Structure 1
Amino acid sequence: MHYEVYIPSGETENIRSLVRYRHSLGEELTLKKNKIHALLTSYGVIIKATDPFGKKGLKEIENNYSNLNYSDRIVLRSLLNDISFIKIRERKIEVELSKIAVNNSNIKLLMTIPGINYHSACGIYSEIGDISRFKNREKFASYTGLIPKEYSSGERVVKGHITKHAPSILRFFLTEISHIVIKYTKKFRSKYLSIVRRLGKKRSIIAIILAETIFTMLKNKTGYIDYERDKTGLKILIMPILIDWKALQ
């Protein structure tokens, strides 16, 4: 049996590279922050600011420098410099993604879903590519890697863990956004509560439903309609402003 190999367009590949790099920067940033937390905790220093790495948090860290020995002060300063540099790189990538999102109809369609901003929309779109390569929404849901494995046990079909065959970034975005749509969208919240009553807390199922919704939207070129909450126009409207602001940082 021969399978057709999908080759993404140049534009899709460009977006994918930017998103994946931005994602790696986020992971690198988390690693640096965790090292700082561990270092401060070893001295019994607890930062009380809501954002430990915002202005107030950094001020608290600065005030606790004297509690650290000479070598650890050097390490802490180096880690903080790393964080600052990573944030600069993140902003540059986000500016480029913002420019792309403004001019891409599929990305703007995805942004009609509550919880999807230009960054996550770019990520989802770039990992999907041409939606027409999927025969139906079930095939697309399977591609996401969120469908549980099935195996036979006697006369029963048992569902196991999700397959995780798809790009991990696609699963990451769909899973993260599913938490948001449950909270802010009546349609998804009702489905989730129904699932909870029948099966318990199965958030992965909402991620599958979200994936199927995305397939239908991209296939039919229709946006997500949520009469209860519609901020899509605002998201798209502020993007040029966002681009200019980030370019100045």
Structure 2
Amino acid sequence: MKREQLRSLFRRRNNLVKNFRKIMSLIKGQHLNQGIDIPCEFDNSYWSHNFRDWLDNLKFTYLTARMTLDSHMHYFRFVDQELREVSTKLLSYCKEHYKKDYMLLRSILGIGGIVACGIICELGDLRTFNSIKHLSGYVGLIPGIHQSGDNIRNTGITKRAKRLIRRYFIEASWQAIRTDPVFQAYYCKHLGKNIKTVIVKIARKLLSIHIGVRASYMEQVI
């Protein structure tokens, strides 16, 4: 019950992330419809305070367009503030009540605070998994297989998965490539191949590292 309620807070955060991205798309869409170009320095996924001020002071031919943007910006700021507050509460709770697990996860390159919280919330006690293969299958980091009679073919990454946590491991893989020389070398070695396949392999390696770190910790405790 305790873990389920923590998971509900984590999923609340992810719903806010979806709403945040959606309102950003609506605001950008309004500019496209109105034929207004966003300055190059603001055309990115990070909306600085300068960009927000630019949006607040933007002039339109008709007042109704300004009213629409004001409404969008009001909702944008609400979701932004709510997302920050929920993220802070989630991090604080995991640090306090799952400190050892949280710190172990943060010790792995590519695993940030929110990703660590996600693993704690969605995977729980990893001792319930028999092997890395079992855990990889649960997360969805194994190939999908389609069998028809005697014919068996690989369908790419399996569709049966905990998609939310798989997405976080994929994001952690990109971060690991940027910060860890070993993962950088592995990625460069496979350039020219299917990028999605390479990233999934790196995500599986991160999962294996996490299992190794957790097992090492359990041996010290025992």
Check if 1:210 corresponds to 2:210: no
Tell me what 1:74 maps to: 67
Check if 1:132 corresponds to 2:123: no
**How is 1:1-249 mapped onto 2 (pairs within 5 angstroms)?**
10=2, 12-48=3-39, 49-50=41-42, 53-64=47-58, 66-103=59-96, 104-151=99-146, 157-196=152-191, 199-201=193-195, 202-221=198-217
Larger mean Cα displacement after TM superposition, 77-86 or 106-115: 106-115
Checking the alignment, whether the CA contact within 8 Å between 1:147 and 1:162 is kept in structure 2 is yes
Larger mean Cα displacement after TM superposition, 81-90 or 40-49: 40-49
Question: Structure 1-normalised TM-score?
Answer: 0.76
Cα offset for 1:136?
0.8
**Identity of paired residues, percent?**
24
Q: Which amino acid aligns with 1:69?
A: Y
Cα offset for 1:153?
7.8
CA distance in 2: counterparts of 1:68 and 1:87, whole angstroms: 28
Larger mean Cα displacement after TM superposition, 153-162 or 28-37: 153-162
Higher helix share: 2
Checking the alignment, whether the CA contact within 8 Å between 1:137 and 1:216 is kept in structure 2 is no
Cα offset for 1:34?
0.5
Higher relative contact order (CA 8 A, sep 6+): 1
Cα offset for 1:155?
7.8
Cα offset for 1:68?
4.4
Larger mean Cα displacement after TM superposition, 40-49 or 170-179: 40-49
SS in 2 for 1:221: helix
1:38/1:178 CA distance change after superposition, 3 Å: same
Cα offset for 1:154?
9.0
Deviations 1:17-57 (A, max 9, x none): 11111111011011111011010111221222335732211
Checking the alignment, whether the CA contact within 8 Å between 1:151 and 1:159 is kept in structure 2 is yes
CA distance in 1: counterparts of 2:143 and 2:132, whole angstroms: 16
Cα offset for 1:127?
0.8
Q: Which amino acid aligns with 1:114?
A: L
Q: Which amino acid aligns with 2:56?
A: E
1:188/1:82 CA distance change after superposition, 3 Å: same
Checking the alignment, whether the CA contact within 8 Å between 1:97 and 1:122 is kept in structure 2 is yes
Question: Structure 2-normalised TM-score?
Answer: 0.85
Which runs of no fewer than 5 residues in structure 2 stay unpaired?
none
Checking the alignment, whether the CA contact within 8 Å between 2:101 and 2:120 is kept in structure 1 is yes
Cα offset for 1:190?
2.8
Cα offset for 1:195?
4.1
RMSD: 2.3
